[in-house]
Structure formats: C-alpha cells, structure tokens
Structure 1
Amino acid sequence: MIALRRATVDDARAAADVWLRSFGAALPTVVRPHSDDEVRDYFREFVVPRQETWVADSGDGALVGVMVLHGELLSQLYLDPDWRGRGLGDRFVRLAKELSPHGLNLWTFQINKPAHRFYERHGFVAVEHTDGSGNEEREPDVRYVWKPREMGRSERPLKS
C-alpha cells in the first residue's frame, strides 16, 4: 500500500530522483537548465525544508511520487514512470484539493499533452498560455486553475 506523507529532510534526495526520472521520461525534448546534482541540491536546501512537500512511499523505503504545494500553487507533481497509471496522481490531486479547498493553480508545459488531459479530468481549466519567456526552460507553458464548484440548490445536502 502506497502511503502519502509529508517529506522529511531525509527524503530530499529520493524525492529529487523521482523528479529527475519523471521529467526525463515525460519531457525528453525539454532542455533542463540545471544538472542532476543542482536539482538534488535544490530539493535538499529549498523544496523539502521550505515548501509543503508530500511524497508517495511504497512501504519498502522507496519513494515513487512527489507533490509540492505553495499556498494555492501546485508547483510540482511528479511520479516515477513505473508508477504512472495506477491512481497515484489522482490521490495526490485529491490531497491537494483537500489542503487548498478554495482553489489551486499550476503551470505545465504546452508540449505535455498527457498532463493537460490529467488535470482537465480533475476539473482544472487552462486560463493562460505563454511563449515560455517566463520559465527557466524557455518552453511554452500553460497555467491551469481549479476552483471548487459552488453548491447550488440541487446540490445542498438534505437536512435529516
């Protein structure tokens, strides 16, 4: 059973390695502006200690997913390539919505069509497209937003 839990400092390298494997598999044509060691340093020095970082722990000590929240910004959601399509991303998004019930936003690259389909399936809507000049990779991207539905009359729970 995969457990979603808050990351500890000891998880930083393994979380970075999930990011590296996932990025490489999902976005092979996107140029990374940082080396593997720089990514690991960033996770160790900034992401895990300063951001709300969650990991998916396989139970045998291996991390197979990482999600990073910064307020309503879902800034990272990466799964080990071998763990895609098993519902783990769905669990992370449900958790993110629980932790940010008033809404979420995120950026993904325009080239990442599977991510578009994934987030749209979870109720996110594309609200902005850019030419990539605002990101380190210089890759065109898209911003997605999720807002909870307002409960209408027909959706209000019945009093018992």
Structure 2
Amino acid sequence: MALWLETWKLAYPAIDFDKRVDWWRERWRTELVPVAQVVVAEHDGALAGFVTIDASGYLDQLVVAPAHWGSDVARLLMDEAKRLSPSGVTLKVNADNARAIRFYLRHGFVKTGDEVNASGRAVDVMAWVP
C-alpha cells in the first residue's frame, strides 16, 4: 500500500491519493488479489516494485519504488508479466503519464485505443503481442 501511494503521489501530485487509500485497499482485496498473480521485486530485502497480471493477460499495476526508477526493476517485472502471459499483455495507462507510456513503447506495446476512466481522465489502451 505504501509503495502504491508513494509512486502515484509522485506521478500525479495534483490528486489527493491519501483520500483514495480505503478505495485502493478494497479494490486490491476484492478485484486484484482474487484474479491476478502478484509478482514482487525486492532489493536488499526491501520491496522494490510489483506487477499484477491476470489470466487474460491484463496488467493492472506495474509499480516501482522511486529509488529504483531507471534501474532494471521495471524491465524485470515486465519480462515476468510477459512470461506469465505469453500470448499477449494488455493494459490501460493514463494518457498524461508520459514516463509510463515511453516505458511501454520501449517494451513493444502499441496503443490500441482510447478510453476515459471513472475519474474522467483520458486513458490509453495498450497491448503487447509476441
């Protein structure tokens, strides 16, 4: 929870994520954990990041601790998500999250659509197919 909160606050400083903690805990407990595999990356015994991927190949969360931005942690987590879903991976990313979009493009994803999320923010739908 703390890592999610820290990274999202840095990515979107204008949004009050402290008010969303209860929502996130509930979503994690009821929507992600029951259907997704959660892969955790550690560095020196501390959480460095995690990725969630469900049986359909949907990647809901790829979160890396800011101390590990620019390291191999995100790449290793993405490689594991692709290994777990060898027929393809789909995801949605906020359209204004340029850092994440650049990462996904570097890792073979292409934009396949546009949506608007429940908060009214533009979202890019992206997919990787081997």
Identity among equivalent pairs (%): 30
Alpha-carbon RMSD: 2.1
* 1:53–1:69 Cα contact (<8 Å) kept: yes
Instruction: Considering Cα pairs closer than 8 Å and 6+ residues apart, tell me whether 1 or 2 has the greater RCO.
Output: 1
**Is the CA contact 1:31–1:137 (under 8 Å) kept in the aligned structure 2?**
no
Q: Does 1:142 align with 2:124?
A: yes
- Judging by fraction of residues, say which structure has more strand: 2
TM-score normalised by length of structure 1: 0.72
> Which residue in the other structure is 1:42 paired with?
27
Which region of structure 1 is more displaced relative to structure 2, 118-127 or 32-41? 32-41
Write the deviation string for residues 9-51 of structure 1: whole angstroms up to 9, x where unpaired.
xxxxxxx221111111112235659522332343345533542
Q: Any unmatched runs of 5+ in structure 1?
A: 1-15, 149-160
Cα distance between partner residues in 2 of 1:30 and 1:110: 15
**Distance apart, 1:129 and its partner CA:** 1.4
Provide the residue aligned with 1:69 in structure 2. Answer: 53
Residues 64 and 37 of structure 1: CA distance in aligned 2, closer, same or farther (over 3 Å)? farther
Alignment of 1:146-157 (within 5 A): 146-148=128-130
Match of 2:73 among 79, 88, 106: 88
1:45-65, Cα deviation, whole Å (9 max, x unpaired): 5533542111112242x2121
Structure 1: distance between partners of 2:118 and 2:35: 20
Q: How many aligned positions are there?
A: 129
Structure 2 length-normalised TM: 0.87
